[in-house]
Amino acid sequence: MRDASVRLVASLSAEDQCVQSMPDASPTKWHLAHTSWFFEAVVLQPHARAWRCFDARFARLFNSYYESLGPRHPRPQRGMLTRPALAEIHAYRKAVDAAVADFIHESPAQDFARAAPLVELGLHHEQQHQELMLTDILHLLSLNPLRPAALDVPALRRPAADAGWIEHPGGEVGIGHAGAAFAFDNETPRHAVRLQPFALANRLVTNGEYQRFIDDGGYTQPGLWLSDGLAAVQTAGWRAPLYWLDDGTEFTLNGVVPRDADAPVRHLSFYEAAAYAEWTGARLPTEFEWEAAVSGPTPPAQAFGDVWQWTRSSYDPYPRFRPAAGAIGEYNGKFMVGQIVLRGSSLATPEGHARATYRNFFPPAARWQFSGLRLAQDL
């Protein structure tokens, strides 16, 4: 799983991997180092007696947001880290991997038992950053007039099913993760939620449908927009999804490609998704409706593997949620304000990382993720 991170970006140049395109995105090189630092700080330093620090200065550079683990280099300046060089980051990764392997194979059983959940967390964290590396490099290269193809990834070309609705009777449903398999803490505790009868769209909204919203003047009809959304449209000059180009093409990881009218629309903010839903007379699903429908006997198409789907749910703790003790308590809990939940997974999500209870979250104006939408309506 760790090697997959390196393979994923092997075709990028050292220059590609150093630059930061905006404060929200991080350089590839930083992602590669940060995921290694996570193993060092959470697994090796506290639990592996044989670990010798690779470079004591790295903690400051590659700690992302863990207040309890010391001072940090400012996030907007991650692109200034021309040193350490990429080769040093690869050496750091190798040293961490070797130390974790030694720890797994040679540590006393009681030491490993304490740390095993943290190793597992580190691997799922690694997978989260694999997707972020792709979203961030896509944003970086979108700013290059040469419009280079970053990577050879499968194109999003799933034909859309005929639009329709999957009805749900509502009532009490179980929401959240339970059982022994891995889940992030924000998916717990499992709890009961009461739903009104609703219907969820059987597929994602397509490029062709979103084009009709644009053609109808969707971006200029104030009545469709949340107040903050309209302000974002006017300030940023949004007129189409982030990577649409004027000639009927769009910029992707594979470079510029013709826009497929039947492919899911992507790189929308929550505000745009909500305005589109308003234009159709439908609405966005809550995260609970999404989870109940996807876990039900007739799950909708395109739940996973195309685009993350904005919901109408604020990213809040589930009832009786308590962050874990120690540094990993900062992993999710402290971000539960001012963000919106997205469900499903995207073309950039690693295989096996998605599940029906997974809660992704971003600020409502975020557009550089692989984010789209599916509609819901009341019954």
Binding site residues, Fe ion, CB under 5 A: 64
CB of 239 to Fe ion, least distance (A): 33
CB of 42 to Fe ion, least distance (A): 11
Q: Which is nearer to Fe ion, 210 or 358 (CB)?
A: 358
User: Is the four-CA dihedral 337, 359, 307, 297 of positive or negative sign?
Assistant: negative
Give CA–CA dist 10/255, Å, rounded.
17
CB of 178 to Fe ion, least distance (A): 25
**Which residue's Cβ lies closest to Fe ion?**
64
Q: Which is nearer to Fe ion, 20 or 64 (CB)?
A: 64
Q: Which is nearer to Fe ion, 286 or 346 (CB)?
A: 346
Structure token digits, residue 81: 């880290």
Distance set, CA 190 to CA 118, 132, 252, 357, 359 (Å): 21, 27, 37, 9, 13
Q: Which is nearer to Fe ion, 64 or 207 (CB)?
A: 64
Q: Which is nearer to Fe ion, 64 or 360 (CB)?
A: 64
Instruction: Note whether 30 and 81 are within 8 A (CB).
Output: yes
- How wide is the angle at C-alpha 335 spanned by C-alphas 241 and 35, nearest 5°? 85
CB of 155 to Fe ion, least distance (A): 28
Smallest Cα–Cα separation from 177: which of 186, 168, 169?
186
CB of 82 to Fe ion, least distance (A): 22
Q: Which is nearer to Fe ion, 64 or 332 (CB)?
A: 64
State the Rg of the chain over Cα.
21
Q: Which is nearer to Fe ion, 63 or 142 (CB)?
A: 63
Q: Which is nearer to Fe ion, 266 or 353 (CB)?
A: 353
CB of 124 to Fe ion, least distance (A): 11
CB of 72 to Fe ion, least distance (A): 12
CB of 65 to Fe ion, least distance (A): 8
Structure token digits, residue 276: 């589109």
What backbone torsions phi and psi does residue 123 show, to the nearest 5 degrees? -70, -40
CA dihedral angle for residue 11, residue 16, residue 17, residue 21, rounded to 10 degrees: -140
CB of 37 to Fe ion, least distance (A): 9
Q: Which is nearer to Fe ion, 97 or 102 (CB)?
A: 97
Structure token digits, residue 350: 């690693």
